[in-house]
Amino acid sequence: MLLKPNKIKKKLNEGKVTIGTCMTALCTNLVELAGYSGFEWCRIDTEHNWRQDTTVENMIRAAAVADISPIVRIDKDDPYLIRKVLEIGAEGFIIPDVRSAEEVKRIVHAAKFPPLGERGFSNLCFSGGYGSVAADKWVKWSNEETMVGVMIETKEAVDSVDTIMAVEGLDFVLFGPADYSMNIGLGKPAKNDPKVQDAIKKTIAAAKKNGKHIMLGIAPPWREEADKYMEMGIDMIEVGHDYSVLGRSWREAMKEITA
């Protein structure tokens, strides 16, 4: 992956829609399969599961093999994880449960080398070719090509979404309808509830105003949902999770076989 342009960032900046999926099973083979299936990126979710061993590194290597861009969701309030996930080759990362512009500024600061931030330097890592590329070129590539993302998933965040989106260095947000539903007291994930839909629309409007991008997960019927949200302005479409897609397929197969 030595100093390759970030094809997802390039495509988004050209005004095009990108399509990916989410990996909740920490499986290298599934990352490769997602790439061979035509997905452009995969969101590797380590917020709710992570053994903190070499698994994510190997998933990112699998992404390089299959030419799919890895975007990793990592835990909040640990700036060192930001540096570490970029060093092992993530082309982007997402921090969950962000609620203010000040939080976003700290995240950007942790992700960027000086003068844009305060990320600690070492190019003796996968993304730096273990020191085999010129340090100044790697620093420039790291500051320009990696993508910074945060999650909008609370009323507090939606209320502050205009100032959040205005933060320089933020590239995209992932709207979390499930947690937003819970946060506003709906008691369960309810993406189609009018209050949730209004929050999605407000987030999209703020993103477009500030030149940022929006990621949102969709569910069956795939084409109907994709068309709906692309028309609304979502430009990073996430096609389900590995668990949900596989589980649905298995349940449908069992229902058909045992009918």
In this predicted structure, what is the pLDDT of residue 51? 72
Q: Identify the three-state secondary structure at position 19.
A: strand
For 4, 45, 136, 207, 210, the CA distances from 100, given in Å and listed in that order, are 32, 22, 32, 15, 16
- Name, in order, each residue with C-beta under 8 angstroms of 238's C-beta and a sequence gap of 6 or more: 20, 21, 22, 43, 174, 215, 216, 217, 218
Give the Å distances, CA to CA, from 31 to 114, 144, 196. 33, 25, 30
For the whole model, what pTM was predicted?
A: 0.95
**Structural domains of the chain, with CATH:** 7-258 (3.20.20.60)
pLDDT, tens digit, for every residue of 141-192?
999 999 999 999 999 999 999 999 999 999 999 999 999 999 999 999 999 9
Contact 151, 76 (CB under 8 A): no
The tens digit of pLDDT for each residue in 193-231 reads: 999 999 999 999 999 999 999 999 999 999 999 999 999
CA 18, CA 16: separation in Å to the nearest integer? 7
Residue 201 has a pLDDT of: 98
pLDDT at position 126 is: 96
* pLDDT tens column, 108-143: 999 999 999 999 999 999 999 999 999 999 999 999
Looking up tokens 């990352």 gives 31
In tens, the pLDDT along 13-70 reads 999 999 999 999 999 999 999 999 999 999 999 998 867 788 999 999 999 999 999 9
End-to-end CA distance of the chain: 49
Q: What is the mean pLDDT of residues 3-8?
A: 94
Query: Could you tell me the two tokens for 55?
Result: 């698994």
Q: Given 48, 109, 213, 241, which residue is catalytic?
A: 48
pLDDT of residue 50: 67
Specify whether 48 is catalytic. yes
Given a cut of 70, whether residue 77 has pLDDT beyond it is yes
How many Cβ atoms from other residues are within 10 Å of residue 120's Cβ?
10
pLDDT at site 1: 65
**Largest separation between any pair of C-alpha atoms in the chain:** 64
Phi, psi of 190 (to 5 degrees): -150, 70
In this predicted structure, what is the pLDDT of residue 2? 79
The per-residue pLDDT for 242 is 95
Q: How many CB atoms lie within 10 A of CB 236?
A: 25
